[in-house]
Structure 1
Amino acid sequence: IPQQRNPSKKMKFCFTFYLKQSGCRHFQSSAVNYSTMLLEADSERLYVGARGAVFALNASDISASSALTIDWEASPEQKHQCLLKGKDNKTECFNHIRLLQRFNSTHLYMCGTNAYRPLCAYIDVERFVISSQPEEGRDKCPYGPTTGYTALIIDQQIYTASQYEFRSFPDIRRNSPSPTLKTEDAPTRWLNEADFVGSVLVRESVGSSAGDDDKIYFFFTEISQQQTPTYSHSRVARVARVCKEDRGGHLTLQKRWTSFLKTRLTCSLPEYDFHFNILRSVFTLPGQTPQDTFFYGIFGLEWKNVKASAVCRFTLSEVQEAFQGPYMENQDSGSKWKEYTGKIPDPRPGTCITDALRARNMNFSTSLPDDVLNFVRRHPLMSKQVEPADRRPLLFRRTTDYTHMGVHTAQGLDGQTYYVLYMGTDEGWLHKAVDIKGQLHIIEELQLFEEPQPVNNLLISDKQWSVYMGSPSGVVQLPLSSCGRYTSCYDCIFARDPHCAWNGAECVDVVMQADRSTLIQDIQHGTEGCENTQGDVVHRNRSVRVGDDVLLQCELSSNLATPLWMLDGRQVQGYDLNSGFRTGTDGLLIIDARQDQSGLYTCYGVENGVKVAIVTYNVTIRLDLHPPPNMKAIYLSLITILGGLCVVLTVVLIYVGFCLRVGHRGKYSIRAAAALKTISSHCNGNGICNGGSKMHNGNIQDGGLLQIVPGEGHTSPRCDFSNGLSATLPSVLRRMHGNSYVLLRQSDSENMSPPGYSFAEELNKILEKRKRTQLLPRPDESSV
């Protein structure tokens, strides 16, 4: 389970509060499926391809009104033909933009599915219009909007990898200009139902002493050709490689790659027997030299009903070493593969043309001997697998499916270079994490959209200091850091964000500070620097009578922190049913209060071994809190209450009758939720919801007594999750048959309990019933 922080306990959607507080920008139009993005930071342009349209946005502010649009819809005739093919007229029979890249200094090149008849066209960048008649795109673009696909335009040559036609084999192609090349499918099929997720050019010719060629790496998942008991009929993650200047063979492998090789990428947790075989996305982080290149991959499990993700990092040198290792050999054209131990032809099959080969008069791949090319045709698979850089994942997270990621480097105040990862999920969340000694520490989790939807693409810009995310409904722009959200020294230091530091008064962005000598930052440990800082401790008073129950709330700003309660300097033991206390992440519940439970209660947040005071309560429990009323007052009160109930019941019956007449049906719901105060400012899957407590300087202005409101989790008012992690009630109060626990009124200062009223009996009945069930002294691991 990764470490994670939660800088704010209340949900902030990007397009509401967060838009104003953190510089979030949002772009949306009538189009949907914003899946393709091209960032050109120098010209401050973000090009976005959607369904039936292409947009040119201001990269500094994508919400600006200066957006340019090209509408490119499929014709009605082509949509009709798509329907006749049995395709979905709600998702597939449209023109989904799959390729959008720079072609030359004046034009972009784009390809779309065009309702299952792909077309491609050039875009005049200056006028932002389609500058030519669309051309056939079936060899450059997949037919469907969800088919695995990757493409690169390098020196006006188009390299693509996909399953291009209906029922065709997957293929890696160079489409234009001549010579066109593709992968081989006989006698040994080089690709086996491959699902491509990415590709990258690595300029290995730069600084090469051997006169090496640049190489293009393709990343995909395919059915394993190694039918062993462990990997029988399973899918595996692969990386394949071709040389940029490959021209194919003269007779053997004519119009085929002569440099194609592939091997397996492994990402697993052997101690848990978790093997992440599905490669979802890849991000390439270039280094100062080509050899310093890193490949970051997001991996998932083959089990479709299990959500889990792992992030593994690979080095280019490890990939090169695998391609220099032994080959695999197919026995009898079947499924039995084993390591090849025979003689390897010279020059080594699958290598690029180098100075050594040029000295032997082999200037191009068409000059390679036939025995070398025949060996390449039958031995595309390498035996050595590529292991992660640290031989294990940087991150393993259950209940989360990451879809895309980006990596940014940041210089810490300690002089070290840190890798900061931005990861989008299938439900529209952004997780920001930092790599510390081979482990990912999740700094924050932010919800990007009100409705759950996947992050389709993710780009990072140093110049605009932004991260851009595409989704089915629109594009979101966020700053790489928003240090102002950390309101205390401890929050700023505990976050361990390389972009942020404490200057003695506030948390500031490091790159914006000219003088960094007084800044405080502790990324390695997240514990030091705030010892002499006075935290803002909230002080409250409570007065209750003997036998009542009272909830003392404690709002923790970090999901890594755990609450610690002290009563007059002694730790409160809240997990023993006979102690009179119940503790949870929301606070401390005093049950059936006794006079000896009076005193000063202090809630501490404990994180990384550091204890920080959050709130104190001076609790007074008295016998004579309210004098017994006389009998006349009791009678008058009863008459008043009964009369009021009659009026309320009459109104309810009239309302229900009206609803039945107009045909409304459904379960009860809470109206005017803004008037309710909740025990937790969160909501979890058990129906524990927030009702909109007003916050002022971190304090709850109004509190309330604990009241049980019948209802079911799915019919409760919609609640906002706090940064992806559900907070819980005191542990013994969780999972109470779907009831919602709503805080109606809880007084601060010296306000007294209402005379003659106590909810202790009702609550104690539930607590007694809970004694006979399994206790949950800690939140579910799945909730983390």
Structure 2
Amino acid sequence: MEGHVSLPLTLLLLLLCSLPGVCGFPFGPVLDLDVTPRTTIFSQGLLGCQRFSSRSQNYSILLLEEDNGVLYVGARGALYALDTANVSKPGNPKIDWEASAEQKKQCLNKGKNNQTECYNHIRLLQRYNETHLYVCGTHAFRPLCAYIDVEHFNFSSGFEEGRDRCPYDPAKGYAGLIVDGEMFSASQYEFRSSPDIRRNFPFPTLRTEEAPTRWLLEADFVGSALLKESTNSSVGDDDKIYFFFTERSQEQMAYPSQTRVARVARVCKGDWGGQRTLQRKWTSFLKARLVCSVPDYELQLNVLRSVFVLQGPDVHNSVFYGVFGLEWKNIKASAVCQYSFADMQRAFEGPYMEVHDSKWREYTGKVPEPRPGSCITDVHRSKGINSSRDLPDNVLTFARRHPLMSTQVHPVGGRPLLFKRSVNYVKMAVHRVEALDGLVYTVLFLGTDEGWLHRAVEVRGQMHIIEELQLFERPQPVDSMVISQRQRSLFVGSSSAVLRVPLSSCRRYTSCFDCVLSRDPFCGWDGALCVDISSLTNRSSLIQDVQRGNRGCSNSLGAVAERRRSVMSGDDVLLQCELRSNLAVPRWTLDGRELQGYGLDSGHRVGTDGLLLIGARPEQSGEYRCYAAEKDVWALVRTYSVRVQPDPPLSVVPTSPTDTPSATSTTATLSVSTGGPTERPLPSPPAPLPPGPEFRTYRRMEAMYISLVAVLSGLCLVLTVVLLYVSFCTRGAYQRRKYSQQGQAEPGAGRLELKTISSHCNGRQDSRRGARRSLSASNMDQLGDSFLQIVPGGGSPGKSPPPPAPPLPPPLPCSEYASSEYTNGMSATLPSVLRKMNGNSYVLLRQQADPEGSTSALYHSFTEELNRILEKRKHIQLDPQPPDESSV
């Protein structure tokens, strides 16, 4: 019985959790971390943007060469060389590289999608040497690579087999890097192969190990980076290649629902594999876990989506940023974590993990010398080990079985720099700029899966989102981003276009307060305009406050236009005040006195869109000012001069019975001006106004309607919960068979018997009531306060059919409870009728005899009927976005 009662209670909790703000798990407690962008700019308001697009699609690969002033773009079936000064300039050099018709046909025969997969998607575009680029494409599931002559921008030779250098599938994660003529890549290459990190050329090629311990497990790569640790190294260290990815977890997780973890792996650039053990395999492969979590609330973000390495003046001062998301696809949330190079090095120098009893545990035994997984240094050379091929077999055997480190890499400060709900960041770029205070600030550019760009600045360990920009009107993910310091621009690639966006649009801020409150390190106020500080050599007169964002501007009112309003007494008037900042709140004053928001007898209401005067009175005349209050600063936005004119005396004019209401009414006209002479009110029609009290009564009907709607909404919610409770109680009683069945069902019988169930719905049977009675039309009035249970019964031969069922009760007042046409397509006249309640639950209303003798729908339990309806719904899918074209 306890389990039965908990079911409706659980549904009640789910119902309450569906209401906004009731259940916020897992994000309710972390609202203080959620950062709100200060301003929102839609695509129509973008300033200084340039756009490039053509017949090609998927501009996902960008290669910027500042010295040459060229932005190389890899798209679907084409490559472009764009001028960084003007990407919109027509006539940009282009290379067409479409897959052949025969190859597209073979791709289609393999069962691939001829609208997405059977094209040549560019996955790698890198500088190979001074004269050539190197490019690889999927080529309709047969990867090819080629060299490009930079001077003439064309293919300089034939194509090379790319199966070991480029993935087949354009949707697979991929990371590629060419360093000193050597190519390093990471992906799932062949159709059914496992993920792998490889050195593709020169010979010998290297790859990761798969047995007895698989080094990579369903890895999805997002990026790679080269750190030149040999530069100025005191120990003769080697350069290292770092790969960032997400893979299926091998170690035990704190939460069973989490199956994936973020990783960083490294290999040495000078690794040549082992002599006998680990032949043509990495001897320096090590990996560690990247942690990005909110420790106070046990919120783990374990899917790495993007990474950006920001190298400092010294490699040991380098930092890298990662964009993380949740493993659950139906919940949007993102976090940005910052990691230091020193913490990453500490993890790779720490203890190892090993497999023990099918579980990964920290290795506590003896570690052989020289340390497995390390690069060749002066210490190794002093012992006669000049390359990885000279390493002892016991060291290589240990390295094969211990690729995972026990120490985890935690973010700087132990928590994310930025957390954002309802947003999926997918790409990022980082830039450092010096502000007027002499400090260097880190600015993050974050692209979303819907084509928005968030520009944020780090101030004292906290992130301030300066603005969010809508880059594309049609939602689409940001595929690539690269920063040009020379052009002071950000280049963004997506499925439809390439955009050049300025690093900052200072001229968007039109006042001193707006410029300073933005806390934009690129911008400063020069006394008349908000300007880019890099464009001026003399910056002594500029005003900027990135640290606090509220100092420097005078309290003068500035040039704010005054508007005049002349209204009639008793009218409702809205004084609009649009705030550009999402962080500001409106503050209103009347003749210098601040107005409060929701006084019962104040006669006004303060909202986010303006001030509403309700039933204006002559004493409400005066000067109204709207301020944007932000960070203890009140900035004047609007000024209104309002004059409330008293009602004119009413004259009664006799009317004939045939007069229409329109002929005996007068419409008052609102006169509005913007600083000029006040317009004269239009003359009133000769018909008199209705009596004063009765006219005001009509004006207050709106409040009565709002109250009535609120009461009815509450009643609808209560009725929904009660009906859910009753339906599940009756179903529980039916399943426990707390009733007696009269007669046996025979083929063709469709008669139903009604049994009483205790109105307490608690499963207890009152012994004083005796056996429950079979109901008929003559004893329906004997039910009292008991519920009715519909029970399939049998009809005896020779007996007359049962009387018809009583008529259905009238529909409930809430329109969502009853309808003549239901979502499952059944009409109210069908034998089995379902009444929709609250979107997912149903109540059986009536069952008639089946004329053909088939089994009645009500013969099945309520659970089976509901499962059938929901199973039918489950196969109804939304129409996918129509494809742009077909490859075949």
- Class of the TM-score when normalised by the shorter of the 2 chains: 0.7 to 0.9
Tell me, yes or no, if the aligned pair for 1:2 and 1:442 is still in contact at 8 Å: no
Q: Is 1:252–2:277 an aligned residue pair?
A: yes
Change (3 A) 1:324 1:634: farther
Shift of the alpha carbon at 1:24? 0.8
CA RMSD of aligned residues (A): 2.5
Q: Is 1:358–2:381 an aligned residue pair?
A: yes
**How many pairs were matched up?**
665
After TM superposition, the score normalised by the length of structure 1 is 0.81
Paired residue for 2:248, among 196, 212, 223? Answer: 223
Match of residue 653 from structure 1: none
Q: Deviations over 1:392-427 (max 9, x none)?
A: 111000011111111111101111110011111111
Match of residue 514 from structure 2: 491
Three-state SS of the structure 1 residue aligned to 2:428 is strand
Match of residue 764 from structure 1: 703
Match of residue 237 from structure 1: 262
Query: What is the CA–CA distance in structure 1 between the aligned matches of 2:52 and 2:306, rounded to whole Å?
Result: 24
Match of residue 856 from structure 2: none
Query: What is the CA–CA distance in structure 2 between the aligned matches of 1:98 and 1:75, rounded to whole Å?
Result: 18
Paired residue for 1:280, among 282, 295, 305? Answer: 305
Bigger mean CA deviation after superposition, 272-281 or 529-538: 529-538
Query: What is the CA–CA distance in structure 1 between the aligned matches of 2:582 and 2:681, rounded to whole Å?
Result: 33
Q: Deviations over 1:562-601 (max 9, x none)?
A: 1112223333222356543222211111223333333322
Shift of the alpha carbon at 1:636? 9.2
Three-state SS of the structure 2 residue aligned to 1:92 is coil
After TM superposition, the score normalised by the length of structure 2 is 0.72
Q: Deviations over 1:457-490 (max 9, x none)?
A: 0000101111000000010001112111111000
Change (3 A) 1:516 1:632: farther
> In structure 1, what residue type is equivalent to 2:153?
F
Shift of the alpha carbon at 1:637? 9.3
Query: What is the CA–CA distance in structure 1 between the aligned matches of 2:156 and 2:324, rounded to whole Å?
Result: 40
Change (3 A) 1:5 1:220: closer
Tell me, yes or no, if the aligned pair for 2:43 and 2:472 is still in contact at 8 Å: no
Query: What is the CA–CA distance in structure 2 between the aligned matches of 1:629 and 1:71, rounded to whole Å?
Result: 84
Tell me, yes or no, if the aligned pair for 1:435 and 1:441 is still in contact at 8 Å: yes
Tell me, yes or no, if the aligned pair for 2:566 and 2:672 is still in contact at 8 Å: no
Paired residue for 1:369, among 363, 377, 392? Answer: 392
Tell me, yes or no, if the aligned pair for 1:25 and 1:61 is still in contact at 8 Å: yes
Q: Deviations over 1:478-518 (max 9, x none)?
A: 11121111110001000111110011111111111010111
Q: Is 1:78–2:103 an aligned residue pair?
A: yes
Pairing 1:681-760 to 2, within 5 Å after superposition: 750=678, 760=699
Shift of the alpha carbon at 1:631? 6.5
Match of residue 505 from structure 1: 528
Three-state SS of the structure 2 residue aligned to 1:320 is helix
Shift of the alpha carbon at 1:132? 1.3
Query: What is the CA–CA distance in structure 2 between the aligned matches of 1:636 and 1:232, rounded to whole Å?
Result: 74
Shift of the alpha carbon at 1:533? 4.8
Three-state SS of the structure 2 residue aligned to 1:94 is coil
Q: Deviations over 1:593-649 (max 9, x none)?
A: 33333332221111111111211222222322686696789999967899xxxxxxx
Query: What is the CA–CA distance in structure 2 between the aligned matches of 1:569 and 1:408, rounded to whole Å?
Result: 45
Bigger mean CA deviation after superposition, 590-599 or 244-253: 590-599
Tell me, yes or no, if the aligned pair for 1:5 and 1:495 is still in contact at 8 Å: no
Match of residue 412 from structure 1: 435
Bigger mean CA deviation after superposition, 630-639 or 303-312: 630-639
Query: What is the CA–CA distance in structure 2 between the aligned matches of 1:615 and 1:639, rounded to whole Å?
Result: 38
Tell me, yes or no, if the aligned pair for 2:35 and 2:418 is still in contact at 8 Å: no
> In structure 2, what residue type is equivalent to 1:338?
R
Change (3 A) 1:542 1:250: same
Match of residue 270 from structure 1: 295
Query: What is the CA–CA distance in structure 2 between the aligned matches of 1:388 and 1:225, rounded to whole Å?
Result: 21
Shift of the alpha carbon at 1:57? 0.4
Three-state SS of the structure 2 residue aligned to 1:184 is coil
Query: What is the CA–CA distance in structure 2 between the aligned matches of 1:760 and 1:513, rounded to whole Å?
Result: 59
Change (3 A) 1:598 1:231: same
> In structure 2, what residue type is equivalent to 1:92?
E
Q: Is 1:44–2:80 an aligned residue pair?
A: no
Three-state SS of the structure 2 residue aligned to 1:443 is strand
Match of residue 623 from structure 1: 646
Match of residue 561 from structure 1: 584
Structure 1 gap ranges (5+) = 643-703, 706-744, 775-784
Query: What is the CA–CA distance in structure 1 between the aligned matches of 2:700 and 2:672, rounded to whole Å?
Result: 18
Three-state SS of the structure 1 residue aligned to 2:456 is strand
Tell me, yes or no, if the aligned pair for 2:59 and 2:76 is still in contact at 8 Å: yes
Three-state SS of the structure 1 residue aligned to 2:148 is strand
Query: What is the CA–CA distance in structure 2 between the aligned matches of 1:248 and 1:641, rounded to whole Å?
Result: 99
Paired residue for 1:140, among 160, 165, 168? Answer: 165
Shift of the alpha carbon at 1:752? 7.7
Pairing 1:116-515 to 2, within 5 Å after superposition: 116-230=141-255, 234-332=259-357, 334=358, 336-515=359-538
Give the number of the structure whose alpha-carbon radius of gyration is greater: 2
Bigger mean CA deviation after superposition, 228-237 or 266-275: 228-237
Query: What is the CA–CA distance in structure 2 between the aligned matches of 1:244 and 1:628, rounded to whole Å?
Result: 98
Three-state SS of the structure 2 residue aligned to 1:390 is helix
> In structure 1, what residue type is equivalent to 2:511?
S
> In structure 2, what residue type is equivalent to 1:203?
K
> In structure 2, what residue type is equivalent to 1:427?
E
Structure 2 gap ranges (5+) = 1-32, 690-694, 715-888
Change (3 A) 1:766 1:73: farther
Q: Deviations over 1:14-51 (max 9, x none)?
A: xxx53xxx321000000001101100010000000011
Change (3 A) 1:634 1:499: farther
Query: What is the CA–CA distance in structure 2 between the aligned matches of 1:210 and 1:575, rounded to whole Å?
Result: 71
